[in-house]
Amino acid sequence: MFLETKALTKQFGGLIAVNDVSFSLEKGKINAIIGPNGAGKSTFFNLVSGSHSPTSGQVIFKDQNITKLPPNKIAELGIARTFQTTNLFEQSTVLDNVIVGHRLRTNSTLLDAVLRTKRFKREESKCKEKAIEVLDFVGLTAVSDQLASNITQEEKKRVAFALALATDPEVVFLDEPAAGINPDETEGLAELMKKMVDRGITVCLIEHKMQMIMKLADKIMVLNYGEKIAEGTPEEIMNNQMVIEAYLGGSASA
Amino acid sequence: MAALVNRRTVISGFILLALVFPFLTKNSYVLHILTLAFIWMIAVYGLNLLAGYTGYLSLAHAGFFAIGAYSLGILTVKVGMNYWLAFLSSLIITCILGLLIGLIALRTKEHFFAIYTLCVGYIIYLVIDKWDGLTGGVRGLIGIPVPAGVGPLSFEEPQSQYYLILFFLLLTVLMVYRIVHSLSGRTFIAIRNSEELAKTLGIATMKNKLMVFVLSTLFAGLAGVLYASFIRFIGPDIGYITITFDLLMYLLVGGIGTLAGPIVGTILIVWVSQSLQFLQDFRMLIFGPLLTLLIIFYPRGIIGAFYEWKIKRQEKKRMRALIKKHKDAEFSDANSVPDKKVKEG
């Protein structure tokens, strides 16, 4: 198993945000999590990436139990994520913003910085090369020397992708990557996700844009009120009665 | 490239000016004030690393300044330790206390952190003020020795003290410059931008924050140590809240999170408050509104405003070049397809 959750549950006081969710990611594919607002999708992400610790259940990554690890350790293992909004340092260039993404693969300390040691120089250029590489990958080479405050919303989304990719991940969790951008740009981001999968990176995303998901995803999980109500290929999901009810409302009881 | 050469010349110009300054003035009072300003700058650089680059506004800095000063005072006057050994020990003591306080303080964030450290600073002041047996209480400590001579150099004269303190200031600036322009510096800035994002990028935020906190207390302690052997008398007042807010004012006016900010802010405020000396406490009537206006319109201080202006100018230049290019292209387009231009126009 590549990455799986076992009976993952998160309770906030009286509210059960994620309830007994067992799910496994398909390695090297595009996995998607969908569900109405408040279904627990983002909480599920937070549990997997270590931002929240679950009330019960486990997260297993390559046979290792990572349930209790802090987010930075999880990132080191090769699990990256993006947020719905990415806070970039607006007064600095796009390239400068992305360089720090590779920091976790370096060891230089304050002392290296003050003394400008060999390791410092080697790692500085390594991080810079990595940043240039991932910016090229996401198609932002042209704006890499512009200030982060001057780029478009779509470009900011791509910078978020670049930051996640700079950590050298095996799997990337994308939290609503296409929120707030137009259909053409959505198409472009979908292409980018395919490109990531071609590179051998597993993708898992939360998305509201159904058309995009149905075309893009290899495997879909549907959450509703914190529970998994369906799982399968896009065709299976589209024909699932429970899913249709959750999205369009049930017959009389709704 | 031209800008770099330009900056280099400006920096070397300032260093040269600082070096020859004691020969330019015969006024020992001016030299005294400038030396003091250098000491404040070192402390402000410490504050800047933490508040400016990492986003944690510590209000305990006068406390750490006082810890440095008192450590040196007690070790030299009461223990009779060798000066440079006491110097080093004082810095180590400040760092250890900084580490212990940082471990607890850094569990809080934003304004809670500011309030917490404000309380810590006040407690440090109270301890110094009340612990008569160790610190001499309100009477303070007198007779702190000047820095012991190193080889042929002696630091008895105000001029030589000036150079010693200038040396430590330049060392501080160099260190801060190198830290800020490194992966470590980028890590701190990433924490300032968004701690949550930094964590998911694999950054051990607590470890990094603790490192900056200790480093920033080290600079505050260094300033305190230099202060003690420059003024040679210390009282509990040096750990009082007003000193913290003085340091913060220097930083805010110069530019928080900028490299030149601490120098510009300190020099400016010290100079202005010296020139307004004749107004006594009424000068605050001038200071207050000016500071308020500055914070409203230039939240990143004088240096921040300067950078903004520079960036805007570059941006304009870029846009103009772009428009020109576009126009040229349009012109050549117009030549080949004459009616297209009409349509677009």
Residue B234 DSSP code: E
Chain A hits for B185, Cβ within 8 Å: 113
Tens digits of per-residue pLDDT, B144-196?
888 888 878 778 888 888 999 999 999 999 999 999 998 899 999 999 988 88
Note the pLDDT of residue B338: 45
* CA-based nearest distance A180→chain B, Å: 20
Examine the pLDDT at B33 and tell me if it is beyond 70. yes
Average model confidence (pLDDT) across chain B: 87
pTM over 0.90: no
- Contact (Cβ atoms closer than 8 angstroms) between residue B317 and residue B279: no
- Side chain identity, residue A180: G
- Contact (Cβ atoms closer than 8 angstroms) between residue A25 and residue A204: yes
Confidence of residue B127 (pLDDT cuts 50, 70, 90): very high
Pairwise CB contact (< 8 Å): A49 & B315: no
* CA-based nearest distance A246→chain B, Å: 32
Which of B214, B119, B216 has its CA nearest to residue B176?
A: B216
Overall average pLDDT of the B114-121 stretch = 94
Residues of chain B numbered 116-155 and touching chain A (CB < 8 Å): none
Alpha-carbon gap, residue A220 to A231, rounded angstroms? 6
Q: Is the dihedral of CA B327, B331, B334, B336 positive or negative?
A: negative
Residue B62, CA distances (Å) to A128, B32, B35, B343 in order: 38, 20, 18, 68
Examine the pLDDT at B294 and tell me if it is beyond 80. yes
Overall average pLDDT of the B250-276 stretch = 89
Q: How wide is the angle at C-alpha A159 spanned by C-alphas A153 and A164, nearest 5°?
A: 135
Q: For residue B196, give the chain A residue with the closest CA.
A: A51
Examine the pLDDT at A40 and tell me if it is beyond 80. yes
Residues of chain B numbered 302-341 and touching chain A (CB < 8 Å): 307, 311, 315
- Return the minimum-mean-pLDDT range out of A33-37, B219-223, B276-280: B276-280
Overall average pLDDT of the B123-134 stretch = 90
Q: For residue B202, give the chain A residue with the closest CA.
A: A72
Confidence of residue A254 (pLDDT cuts 50, 70, 90): very low
Q: Is A167 on the interface with B (CB under 8 A)?
A: yes
pLDDT higher at B335 or B329: B329
Q: Could you tell me the domains of chain A?
A: 1-78+169-253 (3.40.50.300), 89-166 (no CATH)
Examine the pLDDT at B53 and tell me if it is beyond 80. yes
Chain B hits for A113, Cβ within 8 Å: 178-179, 182-185
Q: For residue B188, give the chain A residue with the closest CA.
A: A100
Residue with tokens 């270590």: A50
Q: Is A124 on the interface with B (CB under 8 A)?
A: yes
Taking the domains of chain B in order of start, what are their residue ranges? 27-299
Tens digits of per-residue pLDDT, A144-183?
888 888 888 888 889 999 999 999 999 999 988 888 888 8
Name the token pair of B24.
């330019």
Give backbone dihedrals phi and psi of A233, rounded to 5 degrees, phi first: -75, 165
Q: For residue A81, give the chain B residue with the closest CA.
A: B200
Spell out the SS3 assignment of chain A.
CCEEEEEEEEEECCEEEEEEEEEECCCCCEEEEECCCCCCHHHHHHHHHCCCCCCEEEEEECCEECCCCCHHHHHHHCEEECCCCCCCCCCCEHHHHHHHHHHHHCCCCHHHHHHCCHHHHHHHHHHHHHHHHHHHHCCCHHHCCCEHHHCCHHHHHHHHHHHHHHCCCCEEEEECCCCCCCHHHHHHHHHHHHHHHHCCCEEEEECCCHHHHHHHCCEEEEEECCEEEEEECHHHHHCCHHHHHHHHCCCCCC
Tens digits of per-residue pLDDT, B256-268?
888 999 999 999 8
Chain centroid, CA B203 distance in Å: 25
Pairwise CB contact (< 8 Å): B202 & A116: no
Q: Which fold has domain B27-299?
A: ABC transporter involved in vitamin B12 uptake, BtuC (1.10.3470)
pLDDT higher at A200 or B335: A200
Which of B237, B228, B216, B238 has its CA nearest to residue B75?
A: B228
Note the pLDDT of residue B342: 41
Tens digits of per-residue pLDDT, B89-105?
999 999 999 999 999 99
